[in-house]
Amino acid sequence: MKNESATIDVPAESSSAMKGKAPLIGLARDHATTGSGGYKRGLSIFDFLLRLAAIVAALAAAATMGTSDETLPFFTQFLQFEASYDDLPTFQFFVIAMAIVAGYLVLSLPFSVITIVRPLATAPRLLLLVLDTAALALNTAAASSAAAISYLAHNGNQNTNWLSICQQFGDFCQKSSGAVVSAFVSVVFFTILIVLSGVALKRP
Amino acid sequence: MEEAKEIEAGETATSSRKVIILDPKEIEAGETATSSRKVIILDPKEIEAREANQIEAGETSTSPRKVITFDPKLVINKGILILGFVMRLFAVFGTIGSALAMGTTQESVVSLTQLTLLKAKYSDLPTLMFFVVANAIAGGYLVISLPVSIFHIISTKARTSRIILLVIDTVMLALVSSGASAATATVYLAHEGNTTANWPPICQQFDAFCQRISGSLIGSFCALVLLMLIVINSAISISRL
């Protein structure tokens, strides 16, 4: 068989193209400012602001409950006339848990800043989402157990012979209820933070 | 070196010649250093001769064989989604079991001091009612989300519904956590009582009632942990789409 194959030598200038020194065919995409980076950066900024608001809410809850002592000006032999968050273990748990949540939020601020600077990175967002989920569960647990006790303090329960103590300790009741409301505001903030992180994790 | 025969610039698919471009490594010893690529133009007969020795990899319409590739990324994605579905299934059992266990508690105890029949039911304590309702709502939502989760396993294009599922999962997490911890606070009070508020512990009277309501909290807390893992799982699967 006659060999009809032919060989062509490609000139050496093309070797530099193969080695990658050829000029770029298109412009390199500046990932920080393209469309998908833009809206993710906006979400990150909103996330950061929401974290600041949640810090305020959590700290306010812990501080209000922690300073809710009340001592009534009269006394008798039979009844207690001093109320503090110390007397109810649920409120103790509330103060400690809200302090932990506030501390976690402060420590998570740098990660939020990282997601602003690098909007397309998924690792910091995913880390924030995981830790936010745990913090949401802790926050809700503290807020709702304190709410149950506050409800009992306001209304009492006839079947179990638990009397409402708010009629005696008005100030204490008001302060502890205010702390519970602030904790629930923090819960709402956490839910929005988790949803924000989830939306910002979307690929395109 | 033979000249290129009958090669014209711009020859297209009509020619039956095949062009093989060799990498620099495949140049035989003795080639000049200036050229870094070698282009061989083959005759149809040589094409046949070469292709007869080629492995039949990736042939589509001519052969009846089908090549299935196991891309590891795809397998991991499907695995994550299936794990999420399994966790939802267990969370259904946790929430609905807890709601049922709490909702069917009642105990009647004869009080000897007052000679009356004392009844304890879960609806006497509003917190326990809230617990039952919250777990029932979460259980119902999880049952509805099971077929949606199966749909997500099958199709990878449903992005909006994944995010909606993530949102409602987070809300359900907050709801179950709220119900479980409020009920825990009440059950703790029932066990221990409180001297400052003058609240007596009722467990000393209603022992079986107390045990039942304490045990039903366990299922709810397990469902809580599972819901947390489901939320994280949803987020990971969204980021890996």
Per residue in B104-123, pLDDT tens? 888 887 777 777 777 888 88
pLDDT of residue B146: 96
pLDDT of residue B32: 46
Closest chain A residue to B118 measured between Cα atoms?
A: A159
Provide mean pLDDT across the span B59-81: 74
pLDDT of residue B3: 42
Beta bridge partners of A9: B38
Contacts of A134 in chain B (CB under 8 A): 228
pLDDT of residue B118: 78
pLDDT of residue A164: 85
Contact A54, A186 (CB under 8 A): yes
Q: With a CB-CB cutoff of 8 Å, which residues 56-75 of chain B face chain A?
A: none
Give B19-39 pLDDT, tens digit per residue: 555 554 544 545 444 444 555
pTM as predicted: 0.75
Residues 6+ apart with CB under 8 A from B210: B187, B190, B191, B202, B203
What is the distance between the alpha carbons of residues A183 and A187, in angstroms, rounded to a whole number?
6
pLDDT confidence tier of residue B198, bands split at 50, 70 and 90: confident
- Residue A133 contacts B, CB cutoff 8 Å: yes
Provide mean pLDDT across the span B63-69: 65
Low-confidence ranges of chain A (pLDDT < 50): 1, 32
Contact A180, A147 (CB under 8 A): yes
**By C-alpha distance, which of B237, B230, B240, B241 is closest to B95?**
B230
pLDDT of residue B27: 45
What is the distance between the alpha carbons of residues B131 and B225, in angstroms, rounded to a whole number?
16
Question: What does the block give as tokens for B228?
Answer: 């947390």
Q: Within 13 Å of residue B86, how many CA atoms lie on the same side as its CB?
A: 6
- Residue A54 contacts B, CB cutoff 8 Å: no
Provide mean pLDDT across the span B136-146: 96
**By C-alpha distance, which of B48, B1, B43, B54 is closest to B18?**
B43
pLDDT of residue B1: 41
Closest chain A residue to B17 measured between Cα atoms?
A: A5
Q: With a CB-CB cutoff of 8 Å, which residues 170-189 of chain B face chain A?
A: 170-171, 173-174, 177-186, 188-189
pLDDT of residue A140: 97
Closest chain B residue to A15 measured between Cα atoms?
A: B36
pLDDT of residue A71: 81
**CB-based burial, B56-94: b 16+ in 10 Å, e otherwise:** eeeeeeeeeeeeeeeeeeeeebeeebeebbebbeebbeb
Contact B235 A197 (CB under 8 A): yes
* Residue A191 vs residue B69, higher pLDDT: A191
Q: What percentage of chain B's residues is helix, strand, coil (to nearest 5)?
A: 60, 10, 30
Contact B206, B121 (CB under 8 A): no
**By C-alpha distance, which of A65, A198, A58 is closest to A139?**
A58
pLDDT confidence tier of residue B124, bands split at 50, 70 and 90: confident
pLDDT confidence tier of residue B204, bands split at 50, 70 and 90: confident
3-state secondary structure of B19: strand
pLDDT of residue A14: 52
Q: How far is B112 from chain A (nearest CA, A)?
A: 17
3-state secondary structure of B109: strand
pLDDT confidence tier of residue B155, bands split at 50, 70 and 90: confident
* Residue B41 vs residue A59, higher pLDDT: A59
* Residue A28 vs residue B237, higher pLDDT: B237
User: ipTM value of the model?
Assistant: 0.79
pLDDT of residue A29: 53
Output the average pLDDT for chain B.
80
What is the distance between the alpha carbons of residues B222 and B132, in angstroms, rounded to a whole number?
15
